[in-house]
Structure 1
């Protein structure tokens, strides 16, 4: 059941619904099939009322809220940075400041207690400001008006949106001008393209596109300090102002292998970079920074803070970090940790986190020639096990609540969402179920076994075309042959947004795909599809082969290894591809190689050496995770 916000009588009395037309291509138009009822327009009315009451242009109020929360209220629960409601009013205790800061300077104390200030300005109870959307919107409007007056600038709903740059910068709660300006620039970019969406509570809100030239000179009047220069040899877009906190490459014991926590390399010469792996920390910001500085722990290239999208870099992109749980993927990947907990989702995955992560990934992808698609910008949950015994223990972050569709919109590479030919047997389909309205049943997040309802990034796969049919089996996750479950960590029966599969069969509203060597069914009505047909390459077992093995890595053949470097056996996983089945190709041009790095400051020619093979592999979409097949075992064909 979707929650409906209560509306304060004082605001509702003057509330008028905003227009749901005139939205630019920057956001999807509001649904036109049926006019929204009053409850679906309550938040829109509250924005209008707050604009009139506090003298803030409605467009500014909407754009600030969208940049903070995308108009979601999270049911009165705080974000990791202590922000509540659509306007992200903050209430961070003094004792929390150090933990949230991660050793970095945060904004002054009052910027972390904006909920209290909003209460003083509006006379509204703090409890209402936390829990009532209309009160929260009013509080945000009062704050913006107060910032505007402090800067000695005009206030009034009729003022130009261009003249609110300074107030919007102040609203960011940043400690320096660059971070504040980043937030303000995002707000004005949202204004320029417009936006429309249905929120987590079923509210329909739209903001028509409005392109203005903001008065950026106001930033100097905010009193914020100049931005710190990027430290160390960081590899980041200048806009992010990344800081350098190196992971230790050091020896901690007498043995040549007693070292940590990454390996020196010279990528792409010692192995090209094919993947960017999206992780979440499963721990606090400061705790995560403590771990990356432990030579006995693992490593990753970047850590990103939830509250403001601040970035630390720890390992050079040319070096190999230990983050994916699969050495072949480590050899070819950059790992980015995002502060958060997969089972809590949106409480941690803030929009500024998504925006800055997308900025970093775009930069890294361009620099390293990595395609911006879901076969190369992957979740940790897509990384395969290397041998059958470790498949069940592979990670499942960033979890079911990471909004891949929004993330790829921010990357400028939207997930494929239209069909140019019918969805039928033999076609490749891309899964795109939506997010905010796609509340799949998930269990096991909380101590009572429940998970708070929120948008999810996947559709469930069943053993038959029936809502009551059991979920498909995953022998890697459950070797005893049990059915997959709805547990938050169980990815066995989930087709996530952006993933691709070959259609095996269609029956009415149901589509069967080839998945882990068998048919898996999900509902995708033609009137509201969750999967869209697209062209592409597929692999099929060569004629005469009853089954084809799949692998978790693409290591070279035995003959490729020089003397002194042991042969790394490539063991098939517990899955197979049967005759008549087909799977989409994620990448047909991967390196068959092994980077030998087992000792501290390795000694060539037997250590810190790339072994290249000639036995070709293809990366394929196979289950929830990706896999590899030998080119010699399959035929590469165009989907039909």
Structure 2
């Protein structure tokens, strides 16, 4: 693409801005400011920070929000258009383009919407970074409407609609809260300062537990998998694990599997930054992940967040270790041999007219995947015998346990008993204006990261803004959940680093801004 195309993209693509940029260029040429050849092109190319700033100013979208979205999407890189073009039934064929992941598929056309809003062509939006950033900002601003939110928290719903799911907004807001930094492939250093007080919307994302300890359930649409593993009267045993790379973000892939038109899914998806695992398909069901029917019937598919073209940026130690623990667990559960004939890459799946990769000839996880490291970790987690992973450390504390503490205000109840963890649960009938919390004492055998879950029976009269307090290494964390939903399920409260020791790590707050019974039933921790 020519340098003039890049310049024309800077002002959000509107004709008046194109004219203004052209006039500026002419003046610069007349004054001798702009050089020629490669030096001129280099001088004309704006930084990504400038592109975010200009798009923010043009469309009234917070710059830090655009930065967080770009980081979640691609770690501030501009993937080529052929990284994940739309392809019906393809695992990675979401039709997502550029740093801002503008989409074009049967369910969504933010690429076309951006073209209409900016006056830029779809090809410019796909290929030019400045155009792509402006297009993403234009779409987000259009979603928000004329009365734009006054603070970052108010943009949550617009970000969720942009990404197609509240899970995407949650990942973006987690990034806003924690901050981010990195050096792009062209050498630019970018930072996103942590934003204190930023919160995700309570109850926006389901937090039910997956089958594997520490995983979270984000169920795929029924159109995207096959129930069971029996086909033409023959039941197939699980004897393989297939390793994939998402060619996109963690939340974007999980969202795609929930789209009724995707025609694809994987059982598990592992996040790059911290190894968090989402489950989309039950292990006993057949996910459409391999591009080869009989491989699907006999395998578990594990997606890994990132791009094959940038392994050093995406394939983190945390992701390798989390995935290896999962593979070791699966190997033990289904008696899968831990070797490269049974733990394979997508590129080894038959069905391609060439060598491998299923019907679409995929090559992931690519040459950048460290198979020696990965297989060594799987064997290590499986133990010396190599037969699979030991079960992760888990501790569950019920309200009837001596490790639970609460005042007499928290009365025992058997209402909705079938959804309680044990024979009953505790309820605080009226939220208080002072602290009288229900407390759960939990033991961490070693300093490590643990997934924390809570369970309760659900009822329309229960509190929909119950606050859980979790004490990690850096102090207390507040997590708000609705107790009118997810009754009888383990609901995630997040992942935390605990120091070794025995203490009251989880509490149910006696305070709430709304009426409704507050429930304390049971909590669980799982070592990651």
TM bin (shorter chain): 0.3 to 0.5
Decide which structure has greater helix share: 2
TM-score normalised by the chain length of structure 2: 0.44
TM-score normalised by length of structure 1: 0.37
